Amino acid sequence: MKKQDKKNNNSPQELEAQVSQLSEQVTDLDAKLRTALADYQNIRKEVEAQQALRESMVKKHVFGDLIELFTDLFFAVEQMPRELQENAHVHGVVHIMEKYKNILKAHGVTEISYKEGDAYDSKNAEVLGIVNHAEMDGVIAQLIQPGYRIGEVLVKSAKVMIYKKQQEQSASEKTQS
């Protein structure tokens, strides 16, 4: 019976004020919870990105020297005289190189390659020389060696030749030539 004796003597206005205050607190806490969840998700994404970058850096150190050796070997086979390229032993070496290339791909190594006319990208390619051209300027003329990257990490720059537009000779230069 004591419970019935302790009836709440608050007026309806006081109860409405308490409900309104509690409702504001719930809204405020909900906003804080949503902000905390968003912060947590952003931190989680940042940590995952940092882990991926760290993993790529480790792979760069592991595969960097091997990639250098691989590109030298590949270049040597490409420069080999045609009659030697038909040799069974050379075919075996080329097959081993293809297997090695597949292993690199399986570990996230991607090749950076260019073809004639592609835009030159200084972030991924190193210019080894310039080829004069009547019309083209600043685009790839020839790929000398492909480059390699692991994720966002550059392991080896591509080696390229680029076109440089020839300047027309003035009339006085033409007569002197």
| pLDDT number for residue 169 | 58
| pLDDT number for residue 174 | 54
| pLDDT number for residue 1 | 45
Residue with tokens 């090695």: 100
| pLDDT number for residue 27 | 94
pLDDT digits (tens, 9 = 90+) for 90-100: 888 889 988 98
* All residues at 6 or more sequence positions from 71 whose CB lies less than 8 Å from its CB, including other chains: 145, 146, 148, 156
Per-residue buried b or exposed e for 58-79, using 16+ beta carbons within 10 Å of the residue's own CB: ebbeebeeebeebbeebeeeee
* All residues at 6 or more sequence positions from 46 whose CB lies less than 8 Å from its CB, including other chains: none
Instruction: Return d(Cα 7, Cα 12) in angstroms, integer.
Output: 14
pLDDT-based confidence at 7, cuts 50/70/90? low
Q: What number is the average pLDDT over the span 106-116?
A: 92
pTM: 0.63
**Range scoring the smallest mean pLDDT among 1-5, 67-71, 111-115, 117-121:** 1-5
* Highest mean pLDDT of the ranges 23-32, 49-58, 71-80: 23-32
Q: What number is the average pLDDT over the span 51-59?
A: 87
> Is pLDDT at 6 greater than 80 in this prediction?
no
Q: Domain extents for the chain?
A: 13-168
Name the 3-class secondary structure at 111: strand
CA angle, residues 36, 41, 46, in degrees to nearest 5: 125
Residue with tokens 């004639």: 116
For residues 58 and 6, the model is more confident at 58
| pLDDT number for residue 74 | 83
Whether the CA torsion 39, 41, 47, 49 is positive or negative: it is: negative
